[in-house]
A = this chain, B = another copy of it.
Amino acid sequence: MSLRPTVDFLLHDWLKVESLQSRDRFADHSRETFDAVLGTCERIAREKYAPFNRLVDTQEPHFDGEKVILPQATHDAYKAYAESGMLSAAQDYEVGGMQLPYTVEAAANAFFAMASVSIGSGMLTSGNANLLMVHGTDLQKQVFAANEFNGRFSGTMCLSEPQAGSSLSDVTTRATPDGEGFEADALGARYRLKGNKMWISSGEHELSENIIHLVLAKIPDANGQLVPGVKGISLFIVPKKLVDTHGQLTGERNDVALAGLNHKCGWRGTTNTLLNFGEGKYPVRGEAGGGLDGAGSGGGLDGTGSGAIGYLVGKPGEGLRCMFHMMNEARIGVGMAATMLGMAGYYASLDYAKNRPQGRPTGAGGKDASQPQVRIIEHADIKRMLLAQKAYSEGALALALYSARLVDEQHTGTAEDADVARLLLEVLTPIVKSFPSEWCLEANSLAIQIHGGYGYTRDFPVEQYWRDNRLNMIHEGTHGIQAMDLLGRKVLMENGRGLQLLAERMLATAAKAEANWGPEAAALRDALQQIGQATRQAWAGAEPAQALANAVPYLQAFGHTVIAWIWLDVAASLGKDNAPAAQGRQAACRYFFRYELPKIGAWLNVVSSRDPTCADLPEEAF
């Protein structure tokens, strides 16, 4: 059981990615170059990731007082990933990139997520560097991004704080201009940062020569006050170790200190940290970092901490806008991680089901105990649990790659196509992130169930997939945040044009599928109508709090409708193919329409009626 044929089918037969060759940017690419990238990633994932997935779960990162110690396997995997060139896969040739379509890059990264999501690929590092390529100065690109692309440096994103998780407007990390003399610092306007950042993945380790933190912080106003809300937020590059304008380490450490490691339920191979910025553990003069003569205000060596040195990215107050560039990629990445955990569990339980003898078929006269046991894949309920996993996971993978294809369209399509792609992505991103977070977690639970008691032991991989996957509904915007984003913003924006565009695509699929998939096409049209009606009724004359009270059920119904559409589109593309793989996809489509899509009615009921049962309940009644 290999992921590769599924990926190949989705990329080539369904999405026709080779057609991207007609774009200038991708003119040098072909099926052969795509295959080479996928083959390399598949091999590295098989050799350097998969064998160590349980090991990194067991040997959690620990802090020896000076350094965070990770298993050798993580170092080896990091090195192999960096050497593959994937960190800069999407970048221009001139900065050493491959100009690979994002669709292919996302597909290639899927192999790592499936092999060991918690060893991790370079998603944060390349996302960090990609952001700098868009919003950074030339020197920031050269010093920071380029060294992230080549793997010398790694990257983080620092948004949350202990008192401000989902609520970024409450960020209190403070960035003070570092005296007059530093305004012209070649690496960017220089600030001193003080504050605490929570949940920072890969915030401290020895995998790379340096760690480049992208940090959201607020610049105080003239009275030294922080502006409330998200408008006051700016974005800063805060390297763990100071560098000069050539990207060389100056030998001085920046004042970014590990305050603690988070001990998680799963995803234990990835270091997750609480970081203190500028609290004085590593007091920093910072003169050598391209600064002037040390006469600035920031050169304190008094041990109380004058702040960690940070370089402004973009304009003051535009931090969140810049960061969103990275957050959208991160959300697609989270969805892909959840998806690939789902696939991993599917393959593991499929393998188990094909080999484990247990029980007998129920015949007309009951079970005949004198017959040998059958393999459990012969039981209907095991098949149901396998097909559910396939429908959730492959459906989510198809959606993720479809969305990646929209990213390529946004970047290389005609202006009109790019705009359509942008809007579709706005509407689909919450689903790409939330559907697999919820349903591929459910898939992992089914994978455990197929294994019976064995699935609940650490001798089999599925319990770890399930634990790892539970994070995905939380990080990079919780389920609730995705739901508010969808119902409160995305389906309304530009007068509902995003939703309209999505509806058009769904109707086009229904029309295409009509001949062979009549009942499913009708069911999709009906679901779409229900979504439209619930959207209108949720907002009809309502206060936002009322409209959004049932945003999560709305998100769930929307997600199921989107995946039904994706499956119907896949199934319609198969024509009359009846090879086993095609039969499997047709069955997954049927499964989704018969077992899953009918659930949307229950979810949408409470949206349409703006059911106040939960919102109105007084606190003391719980």
Residues of B within 8 A of A467 (CB): 265, 467
A621 lies within 8 A of chain B by Cβ? yes
Q: Encode contact with B along A230-272: 1 for CB under 8 Å, 0 otherwise.
A: 1000000000000000000000000000000011111000000
* A597 CA / B391 CA spacing, docked (Å): 24
> Are the C-beta atoms of B265 and A463 separated by less than 8 Å?
yes
A380 lies within 8 A of chain B by Cβ? yes
Residues of B within 8 A of A224 (CB): none
Interface majority SS (helix, strand, loop, mixed), chain A? helix
Whole-angstrom distance between the Cβ of A443 and the nearest chain B Cβ: 13
A128 lies within 8 A of chain B by Cβ? no
Given A601-B598, A622-B390, answer yes or no on A381-B480 (Cβ-Cβ < 8 Å): yes
Given A359-B167, A583-B621, answer yes or no on A452-B478 (Cβ-Cβ < 8 Å): yes
A2 lies within 8 A of chain B by Cβ? no
Interface residues of A in 185-202 (CB under 8 A from B): 198-199
Given A265-B457, A545-B380, A595-B553, answer yes or no on A373-B474 (Cβ-Cβ < 8 Å): no
Report the stretch among A133-141, A290-298, A362-370, A399-407 that lies at the interface: A362-370
> Are the C-beta atoms of A584 and B199 separated by less than 8 Å?
no
Q: Which of A265, A363, A459 has the most CB of B within 10 A?
A: A265
Whole-angstrom distance between the Cβ of A462 and the nearest chain B Cβ: 9
Residues of B within 8 A of A583 (CB): 617-618, 621
> Are the C-beta atoms of B591 and A613 separated by less than 8 Å?
yes
> Are the C-beta atoms of A380 and B615 separated by less than 8 Å?
yes
Q: Which of A263, A453, A455, A475 has the most CB of B within 10 A?
A: A453
Interface residues of A in 334-373 (CB under 8 A from B): 350, 354, 357-364, 366-367, 369-370, 373
A29 lies within 8 A of chain B by Cβ? no
> Are the C-beta atoms of A449 and B478 separated by less than 8 Å?
yes
Complex partner residue of A474 from B449, B550, B594, CB under 8 angstroms: B449
A166 lies within 8 A of chain B by Cβ? yes
A471 lies within 8 A of chain B by Cβ? yes
A448 lies within 8 A of chain B by Cβ? yes
> Are the C-beta atoms of B605 and A587 separated by less than 8 Å?
no
A458 lies within 8 A of chain B by Cβ? yes
A100 lies within 8 A of chain B by Cβ? no
> Are the C-beta atoms of A453 and B383 separated by less than 8 Å?
no
A496 lies within 8 A of chain B by Cβ? no
Q: List 7 A-B contacts (CB under 8 A).
A: A264-B458, A265-B456, A266-B456, A366-B544, A380-B549, A381-B480, A599-B602
- What would 7 more interface pairs be, CB under 8 Å, given A170-B358, A263-B458? A165-B358, A167-B360, A198-B453, A229-B370, A380-B545, A383-B614, A584-B617
A interface, CB within 8 angstroms of B: 160, 163-167, 169-170, 198-199, 228-230, 262-266, 350, 354, 357-364, 366-367, 369-370, 373, 377-384, 386-387, 390, 441, 445, 448-449, 452-453, 455-459, 463, 466-467, 470-471, 473-475, 478-480, 483-484, 488, 543-545, 548-553, 580-581, 583-584, 587, 590-591, 594-596, 598-599, 601-602, 605-606, 609, 611, 613-615, 617-622
